């Protein structure tokens, strides 16, 4: 007997689209709402409630492939490609799932589902631990370098240049190095503190110091745990942290 493939409707959440396109979730939701109004469709039929890290109810949208592709027409080619590749992964995974035809097959499927459920529980516990770790690490007015000094193995001498490559920072000086927050990262991941600086023999000038917002610290921590942050050559491979660091630097 041939296996029968289960028919199912695949969806992608607005949160995942925001992560893939590196946009704020509220902005992606705004784009979706505008699109659905223009299409004359009921926004509530796409709405879904989820619990955030503080166990509060929040709203997201679940889109099928057609609506996702319609949404992406206003996004950049790079952003579209990330989402398209993710859709291919979802569809390939769905095509591999078939209805078990015998009792042993059903038992194996039940065991696999139970294992996946247990793995999800472990992942959730790890995420809760990461959130707890972050709360103990992050303090207001921290620079990216100060935050990264508490993360084991990070090469803090390369952090600002790495952030510049990610379009978080740019150098406004032609003769030296004066880092500023880019328009992309400002008020999303970073803000700036201004200081009046005096230099002997020269006029006073305003110095801008980029500092992390909590969202920026969360993003840095996620990138660190994924191994994306520049690391020291002698790093021991442990993703650990220390709780105290001087904010004077």
Indicate whether 133 pLDDT > 80: no
**Long-range pairs of 235-239 with CB within 8 A, sequence gap ≥ 24:** 235/152, 235/153, 236/152, 236/153, 237/153, 238/152, 238/153, 239/151, 239/152, 239/153
For 9-52, how does the pLDDT look when each residue is reduced to its tens digit (9 = 90+)? Answer: 788 899 999 988 888 999 999 999 988 888 888 888 898 888 87
Indicate whether 86 pLDDT > 70: yes
Average pLDDT, the chain: 79
- Model confidence, pTM: 0.49
Bridge partner residues of 63 (DSSP): 12
Task: Compare 163 and 121 and report the one with higher pLDDT.
Answer: 163
Residue keyed to tokens 């472990």: 122
Q: Is the dihedral of CA 7, 13, 19, 23 positive or negative?
A: positive
DSSP 109-135: HHHHHHHHHHHHHHHHHHHHHHHHHHH
For 53-78, how does the pLDDT look when each residue is reduced to its tens digit (9 = 90+)? Answer: 777 788 899 998 889 988 888 788 78
- The pLDDT, as a whole number, for residue 210 is 93
Q: Rg of the Cα trace of the chain?
A: 23
Indicate whether 179 pLDDT > 60: yes
- The pLDDT, as a whole number, for residue 75 is 85
Indicate whether 200 pLDDT > 50: yes
Indicate whether 171 pLDDT > 60: yes
The full set of domain ranges for the chain reads 1-99, 101-137, 140-225
- The pLDDT, as a whole number, for residue 32 is 92
**Whose CA is closest to 211, among 168, 243, 242, 171?**
168
């Amino acid at each position: 007997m041939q296996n029968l493939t289960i028919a199912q409707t695949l969806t992608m959440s607005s949160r995942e689209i925001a992560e893939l396109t590196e946009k704020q979730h509220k902005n992606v939701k705004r784009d979706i709402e505008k699109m659905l109004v223009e299409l004359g469709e009921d926004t509530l039929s796409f709405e879904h409630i989820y619990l955030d890290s503080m166990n509060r109810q929040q709203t997201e949208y679940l889109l099928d492939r057609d609506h996702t592709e319609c949404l992406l027409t206003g996004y950049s080619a790079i952003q579209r490609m990330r989402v398209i590749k993710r859709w291919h992964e979802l569809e390939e995974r769905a095509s591999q799932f078939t209805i078990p035809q015998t009792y042993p097959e059903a038992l194996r499927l039940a065991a696999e589902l139970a294992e996946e459920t247990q793995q999800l529980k472990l992942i959730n516990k790890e995420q809760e631990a990461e959130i707890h770790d972050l709360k103990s690490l992050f303090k207001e007015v921290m620079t990216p370098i100060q935050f990264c000094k508490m993360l084991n193995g990070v090469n803090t001498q390369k952090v600002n240049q790495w952030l510049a490559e990610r379009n978080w920072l740019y150098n406004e000086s032609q003769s030296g190095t004066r880092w500023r927050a880019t328009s992309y990262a400002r008020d999303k991941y970073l803000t700036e503190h201004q200081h009046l600086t005096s230099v002997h023999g020269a006029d006073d000038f305003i110095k801008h110091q980029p500092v992390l917002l909590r969202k920026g610290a969360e993003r840095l921590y996620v990138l660190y745990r994924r191994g994306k942050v520049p690391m020291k050559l002698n790093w021991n491979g442990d993703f650990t942290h220390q709780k105290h660091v001087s904010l004077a630097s």
